[in-house]
Structure 1
Amino acid sequence: MGLDLPSRLEALIEAADQRRLQGPTGRFAPSPSGPLHLGNLRTALLAWLQARLSGGRFLLRHDDLDRPRQRPGAIESIEADLSWLGISWDGPPVRQSERTGLYASVLSALRRGGALYPCRCSRRMLADGAAPHGGWPLYPGTCRDREVGWGPVDGRLPSWRLRLEPGPLRWREEIGARGCLEAATEVGDVVLRRADGVLAYHLTSAVDDLLLAVTTVVRGADLWRSTAPQVAVSECLGRPFATTWHGPLWLDEAGERLAKRQGAPGLEPLRQEGLDAAGVIGRMAASLDLVPAGSRLSAVELLQDLNLSRLKAQLRRRI
């Protein structure tokens, strides 16, 4: 789909193309909704290892748009934890809250190009009428061909959905399942802007990964399906999505993945056990069989002990 993009946005995309030619870039993009738990921190370590072993840059981006979920001091805590572990980043951290103008420009271009349509379906309507499909309800297309209008009705604005045509959405996946989902039957028309004005992860992450010249996205396997809508956004902007590594999740003793909402532990309990940064890096690396259990080493020492092929092979064995 050819979009009429503002000249400033075109220039940013072209500048990102030039940066990709200069070398690879990885990133870690936490949400500042509380302290990082061990699963988050291990993902950060993997993303940092992938970027450094590729000879590339490593960026830190704070996905801080969902203001009600943010916690005071979370950004500072995240940066302190990463620094304590020896996970360094290049350049100043990026905050999505400072990039809302870019997302608005992309949304406007998508709307002008006919890629978006307004939707007035409530969450209750969708819960009653849409069957879950592998992680989220597949939108039934209720408002897709209706004239519902973009303006407020009874004081409420519509959400904005991305119109996905039938066909495969493909991406290059290095670790997880094959990167392909059928747009119409496995993804559906996802929301890019909620009725309350909050911008969706699918939009903001895809735009940032494109404009920040990210070449490889390393994250947990639970986000594998979310790649497809981001691929669709990138394709609308005329570029392929980054290569992805969807690595294994860190599970607790009950076999459940670590999650903030369940109060998964972060660094503090390990510090109380007496572990220093070398002990924590050793424990995280041992959980992926990268080093023997009980190892103590810095992030830089782990980096020196690995190569990219070995890291990929070990992660694939753990999926």
Structure 2
Amino acid sequence: MSKNYLSKLLWYSGFLLILLGLLHVPVWLISGGGWEGSISWRKPILFGISTGMTLCSLGWVTDHLVRNLLDRVVGWLTSISLVIEVGLITMQQWRGVASHFNRDSAFDSRVDMAMVILICIAFAGIVYFFVRCLGKIRMESDYVVAARSGMLLLVVSCLIGFVISSFGYQKVAANLPPETVGENGVAKFPHGVAIHALQILPAIVWLLRQFKIQHAHIKVAIYCVAASFGLQIAFAVYQTASGFARFQLVTPTGFLLATLAGLLVVVPAVWFTWKQVAATPRRTE
């Protein structure tokens, strides 16, 4: 754990939300109920764990920045806004009402508006730290690529989330379900497909280092996986906008995007495996 005050704040806030999410797993198992739907224990579980992981990753990034006073202010605002937002989502679930797109009462409308404001504040903080990590960052080069790529994909995922939210409010105004697009499109699919790249990419760097892969080769792998995430986002946007389910590969465009996204992960993995096998001394009889 870092001794940096800002990083510790983000880490502890993240751990708090992860714990909150995990504590709701037995509640879901005991109380029953479906996993999907606007009223589901999925909401506090996934939002707690997912948002907590994001805050922890921001803590990791900020620990390697050349710190300034504004970092601490932005870090506080980002942490507090996300913790309160997840708290409001959890509160609405315990009340037995929808947490998103819910304006059935004056209180629910205020909660909904508060969550919109909070997520805007948090997004501003994420953009700020993305810009900061484009400058001097005290990491080895392969981790730098992972951090910057992960932050970029997080920003893109958040932007998609705002588009989805705007679309959802339009559908609610028309008395239509906000969760779907067309016949089978899943509105939240594009938002979530790459939102955890900031955790996955550094983990890949760590894993490849365990196999003694050269840093230059690791950077190539990270670029490939990051590009794969980009294609996955494109695939998710295409599928959703076309009204297709997540993996309903019924058009050449969808099949091509999915195939390219997969190849950008598989090809580097096969190449590294071959290089590792080739470098292993063979036993002579």
TM-score for the superposition, normalised by structure 2:
0.30
- When normalised by structure 1's length, the TM-score is 0.28
Q: Please identify which structure carries the higher strand content.
A: 1
